[in-house]
């Protein structure tokens, strides 16, 4: 479950360690069973929404006021990067609640970006497709198929015919957080192996 107190405590920890909060990356993601919408249990749906959507909301709720204070005091606010998903930009068959949560992350990103654009806070999102993470590894194991076969099925609709690597997503996050990109806010950066071009 997402923990609002933890989000608040992490902002306090950043202030204790660094005296400021210049960059925040909100990466919350779990997935439900790969099934059609009626087969998703209500308990699973609540858990995915709690972690994937409310987890990001709680984090931003405590990060934004600190960055706004910094902007008032020093003229320098900060940058927030939310990790959404390519599933937050289009439909995701058999991942309906996950997609809904990630669409919600995009709604939070865009809405807050507009609210704080003149207050020194840039808020963007990175939207990766399947990436070699514990979540994807868990999916591959759950299929019971050999890894190469499961990955081939997973990437069937990806023009690059592979999953992303964590370093590729990190590079996108660094790009969005970079102060050199000071005119970019409310943006969704798709790192999807070409899915969005189809």
pLDDT in tens, 126-172: 999 999 988 888 878 888 888 888 888 889 999 999 999 999 999 99
pLDDT in the model for residue 2: 85
pLDDT in the model for residue 176: 98
pLDDT in the model for residue 1: 63
Non-local (6+) Cβ contacts of 187 within 8 A are 113, 124, 125, 176
> Quick check: 18 pLDDT over 90?
yes
Mean of the pLDDT values across residues 54-59? Answer: 98
Mean of the pLDDT values across residues 26-52? Answer: 94
Question: Angle at CA 74, nearest 5°, toward 118 and 7?
Answer: 75
Which domains, from first to last, does the chain contain? 4-123 (3.40.50.720)
**Band of pLDDT at residue 36, cut at 50, 70 and 90:** very high
Which of 77, 73, 96 lies closest to 85, judged by CA? 96
> 102-138 burial, b if ≥16 CB within 10 A, otherwise e?
bbbbbebbbebbeebeeebbbbbbbbbbbbbbeebee
Query: Average pLDDT over the chain, rounded to whole?
Result: 95
> Quick check: 174 pLDDT over 80?
yes
Strand 23-26's sheet: what is its strand order?
Answer: 23-26, 78-83, 121-128, 188-191
pLDDT in the model for residue 50: 97
Terminal alpha carbon distance of the chain: 35
Task: State phi, psi for 191 to the nearest 5 degrees.
Answer: -115, 85
pLDDT in the model for residue 144: 85
pLDDT in the model for residue 181: 96
pLDDT in the model for residue 161: 94
Question: Does the model's pTM come out above 0.85?
Answer: yes
Strands 188-191 and 23-26: unpaired
pLDDT in tens, 93-137: 999 999 999 999 999 999 999 999 999 999 999 999 999 988 888
pLDDT in tens, 64-93: 999 999 999 999 999 999 999 999 999 999
Task: State phi, psi for 161 to the nearest 5 degrees.
Answer: 60, 40
Which residues participate in catalysis according to the annotation? 98
Number of alpha carbons in the 13 Å side-chain half-sphere of residue 178: 9
């Amino acid at each position: 479950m997402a923990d609002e107190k933890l989000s608040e405590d992490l902002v306090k920890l950043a202030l204790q360690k660094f005296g400021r909060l210049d960059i925040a990356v909100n990466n919350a993601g779990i997935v439900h069973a790969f099934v059609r919408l009626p087969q998703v249990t209500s308990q699973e749906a609540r858990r995915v929404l709690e972690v994937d959507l409310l987890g990001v909301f709680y984090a931003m709720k405590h990060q934004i006021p600190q960055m706004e204070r910094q902007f008032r005091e020093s003229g320098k606010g900060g940058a927030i990067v939310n990790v959404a998903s390519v599933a937050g930009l289009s439909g995701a068959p058999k991942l309906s609640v996950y997609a809904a949560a990630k669409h919600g992350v995009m709604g939070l990103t865009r809405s807050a970006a507009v609210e704080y654009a003149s207050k020194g806070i840039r808020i963007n999102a990175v939207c990766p497709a399947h990436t070699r993470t514990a979540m994807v590894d868990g999916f591959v194991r759950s299929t019971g198929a050999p890894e190469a076969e499961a990955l081939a099925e997973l990437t069937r609709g990806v023009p690059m015919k592979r999953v992303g690597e964590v370093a590729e997503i990190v590079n996108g996050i660094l790009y969005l957080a970079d102060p050199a990109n000071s005119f970019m806010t409310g943006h969704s950066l798709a790192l999807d192996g070409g899915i969005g071009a189809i």
